[in-house]
Amino acid sequence: MKTNMLNPKAKQAAPQNVQPEGPEANVELDGVIEAPEEEQSVLDVLRENFGDEVPSAAMIEGWKVMHGAVYTYMPTRDEFFLFRPLKRQEHRNAQREINQVAERSGGDPQVVSDLWNERVVGSCVLYPDNMMSTQMLNNSPAGLLTTLFNLIMEKSHFIAPEIALQSCARL
């Protein structure tokens, strides 16, 4: 079976006239030899690249139970982040807090935006746990916090209406 590149769990059936001779056999499809593919989990890839730095499978499973989903972002070969979606109540609480700060700061849009990004990323990044430390913030690339914020918001279902419409169908 051939793995779909966009969805590795979706399998495409091989043509019926091809009969592989066991699980290790190479399959010839239209003159192309394909070795059987082994599915490698994202966790396996992280462990392969980062070794003991990766939180344990038990810890990640605990986060999944607690938060519903855990995602990874690997901006470079040298670093990765694990994060979770923002929950509705957290969103409401953060909005309330940020509105109060906005009133005190005169509504400076940059202060509000920075605080919003920091609040969401600080709440939702599970690894590294020092993500919001002054050293990490001061030494990270300028766009990292904004990128993590955008990823978290997308996985929390804050998506453009055009994208949402593509996922909507009349029954």
Q: Does domain 42-159 have CATH number 3.30.450?
A: no
Eight-class DSSP state of 140: S
- Quote the CA–CA distance of 50 and 29 in Å, as a whole number: 36
73 within 8 A of 80, measured Cβ to Cβ: yes
pLDDT value at residue 154: 95
pLDDT along the chain (171 residues), means of 10: 38 39 43 50 90 93 95 92 96 92 83 91 94 87 94 95 90 94
pLDDT, residue 104, reads 84
| CA atoms of 60 and 40, how far apart (whole Å) | 17
Residue 147's pLDDT is what? 96
Find out whether 76 and 83 touch, Cβ atoms under 8 Å.
no
Paired strand residues for 65: none
Specify the pTM: 0.72
Where in the sequence of the chain do the CATH 3.30.2220 domains occur?
42-159
Can you list the pairs that 137-144 forms with residues at least 24 positions away whose Cβ atoms lie under 8 Å? 141/75, 144/75
Distance CA 104, CA 95 (A): 14
Structure confidence at residue 89 (pLDDT): 96
